Chains A and B, each alone.
Chain A
Amino acid sequence: MEEQNFEKKLTEMTKPEITHLKHEDLLAAAIINAKDKSVVSFWWLSVPVFIILMLMMKSLYMPGSTLISNIHDLAIRQKYISLVFFLVAPIVLIIFNVFSIRKVYFLSGSPKSINFLEIVWSSVLIIVLSILVLIIYSL
């Protein structure tokens, strides 16, 4: 009888299951933080992008002026504003977003699939736009 009970206990015994992984929490927090950072980056990047669009319009409607000449003009007239929005902000945004992507990449087990890009596409977009702003400013 005792042996039967023991067998019954053995069959009922299962492996200890961990329903909640700490690693999942870390990954979820990293993804949320990366998205929050990309939203803040979007707002800070919208200022130089808006200025570039306005200068493009100006170069279209004013004969003899180009986008590059207008940006050079702005850099002379508004030295500090142009330095902050066209040089400092894009570099800082690139650094922040690269670190966010790196953290999510390592926490998700260094995946080599396109699904990873779907998670961090906003950060990648911010990096690309920041590089474009830097290139336009440095021309």
Chain B
Amino acid sequence: MNFPWFRRFGIFFIPATIAGWIILLAGIVFAIYSFMDIDGRSHSVSDTMINFVFMLLIIGAVYSLIAYLTSRGTNHHNANQ
């Protein structure tokens, strides 16, 4: 079963379909929400940034895993072109 939802450019997976864009948008919305949440609880700018970058890396890791799993079927198709 093919899921060509994303295409890889370097170390980033770029959405190729609407479903892909929805996943990316959900990731961005969650990143903004977590930034506001962390900023509300932290005591300094560095405290906010360190915790937010950590959260951003986790979001990026989960997003890249979803993108990899939903674009696996395209590998062989790309190779044939």
Inter-subunit contact A42/B8 (CB<8 Å):
no
Please measure, in the bound complex, the distance between the C-alpha atom of A50 and the C-alpha atom of B59, giving whole angstroms: 14
A2-30: which residues lie under 8 A (CB-CB) from chain B?
25-26, 28-29
B16 interface contact, C-beta 8 A: no
B1 interface contact, C-beta 8 A: no
A25-62: which residues lie under 8 A (CB-CB) from chain B?
25-26, 28-29, 32-33, 35-37, 39-40, 42-44, 46-47, 50-51, 54
Residues of B bordering A, CB below 8 Å: 8, 10-11, 13, 50, 53-54, 57-58, 60-61, 63-65, 68, 71-72, 75-76, 78-80
Inter-subunit contact B68/A25 (CB<8 Å):
no
Please measure, in the bound complex, the distance between the C-alpha atom of A35 and the C-alpha atom of B72, giving whole angstroms: 12
Q: Give the size of the chain A interface in residues (CB under 8 angstroms).
A: 19
Inter-subunit contact A54/B50 (CB<8 Å):
yes
Q: A residues within 8 A CB of B54?
A: 47, 50-51, 54
* Min distance, Cβ B30 to any Cβ of chain A, angstroms: 16
Inter-subunit contact B58/A36 (CB<8 Å):
no
Q: 17 new A-B pairs (CB below 8 Å) besides A42-B11, A46-B57? A: A29-B78, A29-B79, A33-B72, A35-B8, A36-B72, A36-B75, A37-B68, A39-B8, A39-B64, A43-B61, A43-B63, A44-B64, A47-B61, A50-B54, A50-B57, A54-B50, A54-B54
Inter-subunit contact A32/B79 (CB<8 Å):
yes
A-B CB contact pairs (8 Å), 9 listed? A32-B79, A33-B72, A36-B72, A40-B64, A42-B11, A43-B57, A47-B54, A47-B57, A50-B57
CB-CB nearest in chain A for B10: A39
* Min distance, Cβ B35 to any Cβ of chain A, angstroms: 16
B13, B50, B53, B68 pick with most chain A CB within 10 angstroms:
B68
Nearest first, the 7 closest Cβ-Cβ pairs linking A and B are A28-B79, A43-B64, A29-B79, A43-B61, A40-B68, A29-B76, A44-B61
Inter-subunit contact A32/B68 (CB<8 Å):
no
Please measure, in the bound complex, the distance between the C-alpha atom of A73 and the C-alpha atom of B39, giving whole angstroms: 24
